[in-house]
Amino acid sequence: MPTKIIIGRKYGALTVDAATTEKDYRGRTLYLCTCECTGTRLVAADRLLSGNVVSCGCAQKKARAQIGGSKERRGWTLEEDAARIAKRMTGCKGIYQRGKSFIAQIKIQYRTYYIGSYRTEEDAIRDRESVVRMRITEGDDAAIALIQRLRSRLHR
Per-residue pLDDT of the chain (156 residues; tens, 9 = 90+): 555 678 888 988 899 999 899 988 889 889 999 989 888 889 998 888 888 888 888 888 887 777 665 544 455 566 666 665 555 566 778 888 888 999 999 998 889 999 999 999 899 989 999 999 998 899 889 988 888 888 887 665
Q: CB–CB of 102/91 below 8 Å?
A: no
For domain 89-154, the CATH architecture is 2-Layer Sandwich (3.30)
- pLDDT at res. 74: 52
- pLDDT at res. 33: 92
- pLDDT at res. 6: 83
**CA-to-CA distance for 27 and 104, rounded, in angstroms?**
60
**CATH 3.30.160 occupies which residues in the chain?**
89-154
Q: Under DSSP, is residue 115 helix (H, G, I), strand (E, B) or coil?
A: strand
Sign of CA dihedral 136, 138, 140, 146: negative
Sign of CA dihedral 11, 12, 15, 19: negative
Percent of residues in the chain assigned helix, strand, coil, to nearest 5: 45, 30, 30
Phi/psi at 9 (5° precision): -85, 160
Q: Give the pTM.
A: 0.44
